[in-house]
Structure 1
């Protein structure tokens, strides 16, 4: 799914199968008779959220809930990837490009009635920057570390210096965020729910940074499980866990357009077929990650199927650390030639999916039409393997179970196709299925006991670094290689202030990655989300940033 620094980032919590249960009577039209839901949306989710504090979250279900409760300084445009006003109305860099001034909205209140202002913004950034202990674990603050690097005082030699430098409240509605260098991540990365602004009073009252336990058994404070307090159009009401439901309710004091629905319930139904049946029976009014084979049937039945633009990558990672043969570029290139990407796209992915040539979609600036192509070629693969002395290669191929991802609708089916392709060029594959969380993520993003595995990435914002930089900008256990030249190219591109020049450097990076062949970019897939026949007002987002504030039943 994702690199080691965000091993849970790309994760939806795996949960036990729960049969769909009926809606509570209060969720239905008061006219009785099982009529249409009027003020409550019950949305079926594949798993429980992991945590309700988005600063500590990386799984899709946690972030789905967070996007309704919290807001960020800048937010993605509706249905797109570009930065637009959020809690900040405007933002401008200084001449050096290292200090950004944000003009904040006035009159905004947190759910606990306290004021949103510049001091609140700085309280949040100071909390993240001054994290200590387990708050510095990559499994606790993954997005901070992906974007900002380290902390005020790094407690691990593996942590890089912090990109963030300081926050200054100039007045109630003006805040300066200072950074140690120019970076392509600013301001776009501030759209991430992990940089949502929380009530400082609630953070203090519920000891939000008091993470206990161990790195393998993290214990979250009550703030993160029971008291998330933001400024969004919905506020937290209750969480019946595990594997049941989480409820949010309309924030009637919201600064913007009020939510049309009174209540949204996220009901855990881990089995995809059970979610589909619950939709058809009216027990839920929507669910995500519609199976490719279900898109057209659901449309024909009158359901509102929304297809997101493809803004992801499915890849087969090649770990160079464990098996010496995989450290040879000829072997990795042979594996690329062995894979029939188009056949996989045609047979296993939804309409609109594309075979990939690089580790980012062509809608992101920096995509390079001239990278080295690995068109399906069995004979070329065999030739390269023979030249590398690896004609009888035996590899362990990990693939996940109990999960559906936007870029990977059926992991076992995809694995079987890829394994057959590898067998055709003489590579013997041992399939190793593992439960998605935590077994699979732990096994594939750490250590050296994995040769090949399936993972992917859904972009967080519209910049090339968010794709290729997240994967390859430094040494990571998932890939098991050290390439100082490539790492230096990433640093140079990220610190280039001129956008046009930076795009050219991204193109050069994509070309270098294609030659180096650290893995196999397979496909880009347009995932679908479905809603009930009478539900409108939700715009599909390539970032999975669907906002329920505009949802309404006709």
Structure 2
């Protein structure tokens, strides 16, 4: 078979990306110098820290805080969990709980911190912690964290006294404290029958004012139980174009900007760091033609991952063979990325067509606007490459709210087959959180499943140490060979903009939870 040379493929991709980027830059120039009010951190004043995000949070509901656009504002800033994972070491550290231990096969006991109050004045104690866990995991709200972390499992939670919380799981769970690090604790006065847009937590900042579509302001919580953060006020704005976010840093209009790339013009004020995000296409598996494994395999063969990384993301991204990067428990180092083989992709499509598979059916490819740098360009490249295999693809750029309708249950089911671009971050450092939302039958982000894969996943979750590592390696190998629910593309490296007057050390969780308590004025 005849394949294009890597050089020629890269050149075509780079040319297409450059054209789209030029259009984006021209469109963004008119708003790059928008006015800013208030004292800035960049000027050496600790009054206000100004943060510019790629997109406005759709909600600040704490039980949806594992969603990137919500968690980047809420987690460990407005609300706090019982324990907090150190993103550098992977260790669990005390926060609202001071101690925890396994006190039975299915039982964990937590000692909660005394002298803490919520921003609405309610007292924090073991009963308040139990309320938040019950609300997020056992309730009928449909919290995103429930599907992401706990699936269909309910927890028994009991406050045996003011400082003692006992949590019982349906079966032994060796990583329950890690799972509970995703439950943000909210005031016991929070509704458990409907979502709240602005939660009351115990964090160092409280929500002050949210002008929808314009800006979001947090004020320092003067009753915070821990060390007081440096800034009195945090002001969030959002700009879709990376060039605009970069210009706000270089012109002194903002102090921190997320989701940048070197091409955005951030210069020496850009700080690169590896995150834990992996981008991939996720397939719906019950609608033709994507219900045929040959079509899902064909899409994988049609994607030129090396060309995408070298042309769009050459500053640290790595071609992906699975949905988690190296360093996460369960990463399978023996898996190789799908090779780019357009002739093989075409052959699989032709074979399926000969067997009566309706390969001409339109496949919708939802891509979230401003989700990460050059996401629009990536969407165009993926649409073109999959179409070259002989499939009918419609790229659909959508906002965050629309994207979530495709991504989370209940899925959009009336538009035909869906091959959506997802960005998955495993903040917890363990493969369980990935496979149980994307691969387990009935999971929050799994549109089909496989009994053999389910059995492997259900066995792996109860193991520890080397046995756990080996079991999840087998899960990824089995999925690759027998299911093909996904088309992994790349493990990401990202960049933020940081004004000269601000100190902050980004880490693998920065894009999911920008902890303002770790930001300071430069000395």
Q: Distance in 1 between matches of 2:446 and 2:60?
A: 31
| Superposed displacement of residue 414, structure 1 | 1.5
Does the alignment pair 1:433 with 2:396? yes
Cross-structure match for 1:214: none
Which among 415, 439, 456 is matched to residue 489 of structure 1? Answer: 456
Cα distance change, pair 410–390 in 1 and its aligned pair in 2 (3 A): farther
Question: TM-score with structure 1 length normalisation?
Answer: 0.80
Cross-structure match for 1:499: 465
Q: Distance in 2 between matches of 1:481 and 1:27?
A: 52
Cross-structure match for 1:64: 72
Question: TM-score with structure 2 length normalisation?
Answer: 0.84
| Superposed displacement of residue 238, structure 1 | 1.9
Cα distance change, pair 469–535 in 1 and its aligned pair in 2 (3 A): same
- Within a 5 Å distance, the mapping from 1:408-427 to structure 2 comes to 409-425=373-389, 427=390
Which among 275, 290, 301 is matched to residue 337 of structure 1? Answer: 301
Cross-structure match for 1:41: 49
Which among 156, 163, 166 is matched to residue 154 of structure 2? Answer: 163
Cross-structure match for 1:145: 147
Partners of 1:308 and 1:542 within 8 A in 2: no
Does the alignment pair 1:307 with 2:291? no
Q: Look up the SS of the partner of 2:35 in the other structure.
A: coil
- Within a 5 Å distance, the mapping from 1:260-299 to structure 2 comes to 260-294=230-264, 297-299=265-267
Q: Look up the SS of the partner of 1:288 in the other structure.
A: strand
Cα distance change, pair 311–443 in 1 and its aligned pair in 2 (3 A): closer
Deviations 1:388-411 (A, max 9, x none): 4459943534344662224xx223
Cα distance change, pair 333–131 in 1 and its aligned pair in 2 (3 A): closer
Q: Distance in 1 between matches of 2:315 and 2:160?
A: 51
Cross-structure match for 1:90: 99
| Superposed displacement of residue 350, structure 1 | 4.7
Cross-structure match for 1:199: 187
Q: Look up the SS of the partner of 1:106 in the other structure.
A: coil
Does the alignment pair 1:177 with 2:185? no
Which among 453, 457, 466 is matched to residue 433 of structure 2? Answer: 466
Does the alignment pair 1:453 with 2:424? no
Partners of 1:399 and 1:411 within 8 A in 2: no
| Superposed displacement of residue 23, structure 1 | 2.4
Partners of 1:308 and 1:527 within 8 A in 2: yes
Partners of 1:293 and 1:350 within 8 A in 2: no
Partners of 2:46 and 2:230 within 8 A in 1: no
Cross-structure match for 1:360: 324
Partners of 2:117 and 2:124 within 8 A in 1: yes
| Superposed displacement of residue 77, structure 1 | 0.8
Cα distance change, pair 125–452 in 1 and its aligned pair in 2 (3 A): closer
Cross-structure match for 2:521: 553
Which among 27, 31, 34 is matched to residue 39 of structure 2? Answer: 27
Q: Distance in 2 between matches of 1:350 and 1:372?
A: 20
User: In terms of mean alpha carbon deviation, does 249-258 or 515-524 score higher?
Assistant: 249-258
Cross-structure match for 1:319: 284
Q: Distance in 2 between matches of 1:101 and 1:511?
A: 36
Cα distance change, pair 256–380 in 1 and its aligned pair in 2 (3 A): same
Cα distance change, pair 56–385 in 1 and its aligned pair in 2 (3 A): closer
Cα distance change, pair 518–131 in 1 and its aligned pair in 2 (3 A): closer
| Superposed displacement of residue 310, structure 1 | 3.2
Cα distance change, pair 504–396 in 1 and its aligned pair in 2 (3 A): same
Q: Distance in 2 between matches of 1:48 and 1:130?
A: 29
Q: Distance in 2 between matches of 1:353 and 1:390?
A: 38
Which among 523, 528, 553 is matched to residue 490 of structure 2? Answer: 523
Deviations 1:160-219 (A, max 9, x none): 4x331x222233322211111123551212122xx122222x42xxxx2342xxxxxxxx
Deviations 1:356-414 (A, max 9, x none): 111211221211123365222233334444444459943534344662224xx223321
Cα distance change, pair 130–478 in 1 and its aligned pair in 2 (3 A): closer
Give 5+ residue unaligned stretches, structure 1.
1-15, 150-159, 212-219
Partners of 1:20 and 1:275 within 8 A in 2: no
Does the alignment pair 1:51 with 2:59? yes
Partners of 2:367 and 2:395 within 8 A in 1: no
Q: Look up the SS of the partner of 2:101 in the other structure.
A: strand
Partners of 1:321 and 1:479 within 8 A in 2: no
- CA-based RMSD: 2.9
| Superposed displacement of residue 345, structure 1 | 0.8
Partners of 1:350 and 1:525 within 8 A in 2: no
Cα distance change, pair 253–485 in 1 and its aligned pair in 2 (3 A): same
Cα distance change, pair 378–163 in 1 and its aligned pair in 2 (3 A): same
Cα distance change, pair 339–269 in 1 and its aligned pair in 2 (3 A): closer
Which among 219, 222, 225 is matched to residue 249 of structure 1? Answer: 219
Q: Distance in 1 between matches of 2:206 and 2:70?
A: 14
Cross-structure match for 2:203: 232
